[in-house]
Amino acid sequence: MSVYTQLTTTDVRRILADYQLGELHSFQGISAGIENSNFFLNTDKGRYVLTIFERMSVEELPYFMQLMLHLAAGGLCCPQVQLRRNHESLFTFTDAAGRLHHGCIVSCLPGKVLPILNIAQLYSAGQALARLHLAARDFPMRRASPSDLNWLTAHIEAVLPATSERYGQSCSEQLQQELRTQQQQQPEGLPQSVIHGDFFRDNMLFSGDEISGVIDLYYAHDAPCVLDIAIAINALATDIAGEERPRAAAFVAGYQQLRRLQQEEWSALPGLLRLAALRFWVSRLYDACFPREGDMTTILDPEEYHLKLLFHQQHPDFSRQLREHISKEFAHHAS
């Protein structure tokens, strides 16, 4: 979350006039994240999150509104979309420059974002991701990956000159080599669902050791479930400075308590760990090379995911060791 579009108190009150959410007491921009403009709203009826969409087209937005409604009905602890008086889920807003924006308001869930997750919290996070995949299996709307191999190819080409200049020619060569590797290994037939696509710690809320909210579903799309697991392992439990196998094992053990991975998913995991690392390395490079203007914006370090990619290249047996660790340490959790 970030703030690229500023709102005044008058703006927020005009937006709220179309809702039945009470009178505005206060609002505050949210600086974390990178995709949209987000604000906490406090009214006499509760606390909410207002989002203005910065990158997605208006045609894409109903997918996310319907998905959140579907997942909440399926028991996932995700934000509840607040409907306007006309029962529509999206509002429009024209800024001071005359530009039209679209947005939504959702419930603000209990809990807090944690700087690091312990073993019990990782286990709970894995369960939540499994619940999302299971709840979304019968979601009728479709959305292709917004960062597929075509996206990777175009964005790598765009960042190569600046990457060579800032990080060295070897980084540019590594980008191109890993892209060629991924183009040659595209596993087929893996179990699919709607995936979160951005299951980082700042997109989950905790009350104690239990996850109390899964938020920021605006990167969700159809993909293999195990790709979501790879994204989460890289985000939550791949730290090249320490021993991360027990942390990754806790997350996957929690996931498997509700949905067990099939053999073909385990076989695909090493390559998908590399693909996930490449995807976020490239997106961070792109944001660093072509920053967007905003009053409260966050640019994340590309080198973090470069190093994670190198880790998986150098440890192709990581997922095998992970599976062995789960069998040894979490056998009593198996369903």
Which range (79-88, 234-243, 249-258) has the least confidence?
Answer: 234-243
Q: How far apart are CA 163 and CA 186, in angstroms?
A: 26
The closest of 172, 187, 182, 190 to 226, measured between CA atoms, is 190
Give residue-wise pLDDT tens across range 64-73. Answer: 999 999 999 9
Could you identify the residue written with the tokens 């498997």? 256
Residues of the chain with CATH 3.90.1200.10: 119-333
Q: For residue 53, what is the enclosing H or E element?
A: none
Percent of the chain with pLDDT over 70: 94
Question: Has residue 89 got a pLDDT over 90?
Answer: yes
pTM to 2 decimals?
0.93
Q: How far apart are CA 14 and CA 20, in angstroms?
A: 12
Q: How many helices (H) and strands (E) does the chain have?
A: 10, 9
The domain defined by 9-107 folds into Phosphorylase Kinase; domain 1 (3.30.200)
Q: What is the mean pLDDT of the segment spanning 63-85?
A: 96
Which two tokens mark 31?
A: 């600086």
Q: How far apart are CA 207 and CA 195, in angstroms?
A: 23
Which range (29-33, 147-151, 206-210, 274-278) has the least confidence?
Answer: 29-33
Q: How far apart are CA 12 and CA 10, in angstroms?
A: 6
Residues of the chain with CATH 3.30.200.20: 9-107
CATH value of 119-333 in 3.90.1200.10, 2.40.10.480, 3.40.50.620, 1.10.3720.10: 3.90.1200.10
Q: Is 152 exposed, middle or buried (0-12, 13-18, 19+ CB in 10 A)?
A: buried
**Helix ranges (DSSP H) in 84-188:** 119-135, 149-167, 169-184
Which range (17-26, 120-129, 272-281, 317-326) has the least confidence?
Answer: 317-326
Which two tokens mark 194?
A: 């709607």
Q: What is the mean pLDDT of the segment spanning 225-249?
A: 87
For 186, half-sphere exposure in the C-beta direction (CA atoms, 13 angstrom radius) is 7
Percent of the chain with pLDDT over 90: 85
Which two tokens mark 217?
A: 């579903």
Q: What is the pLDDT, as a whole number, of residue 207?
A: 98
Q: What is the pLDDT, as a whole number, of residue 296?
A: 47
Which two tokens mark 301?
A: 């370090």
Question: Has residue 322 got a pLDDT over 60?
Answer: yes
What is the DSSP-derived secondary structure letter of residue 217? -
Q: What is the pLDDT, as a whole number, of residue 95?
A: 87
Q: What is the pLDDT, as a whole number, of residue 335?
A: 44
237 vs 130, more confident:
130
Question: Has residue 1 got a pLDDT over 50?
Answer: no
Q: How far apart are CA 326 and CA 312, in angstroms?
A: 19
Q: What is the pLDDT, as a whole number, of residue 298?
A: 65
Give residue-wise pLDDT tens across range 258-273. Answer: 999 999 999 999 999 9
Longest dimension (CA), the chain: 61
**Mean pLDDT over each residue of the chain, to the nearest integer:** 93
Q: For residue 138, what is the enclosing H or E element?
A: none
Question: Has residue 159 got a pLDDT over 70?
Answer: yes
- The model's confidence at residue 93, banded by pLDDT at 50, 70 and 90, is very high
The answer to whether 20 and 85 are in contact (CB under 8 A) is: yes
For 84, half-sphere exposure in the C-beta direction (CA atoms, 13 angstrom radius) is 15
Q: For residue 80, what is the enclosing H or E element?
A: none
Give residue-wise pLDDT tens across range 177-199. Answer: 999 999 999 899 999 999 999 99
**143-146-149-153 Cα dihedral, nearest 10 degrees:** 150
Q: What angle do CA 280, 282, 288 make, to 5 degrees?
A: 100
**At 207, is the secondary structure helix, strand, or coil?**
strand
Q: What is the pLDDT, as a whole number, of residue 333?
A: 61
Which range (77-91, 163-177, 197-211, 237-251) has the least confidence?
Answer: 237-251
Question: Has residue 243 got a pLDDT over 80?
Answer: no
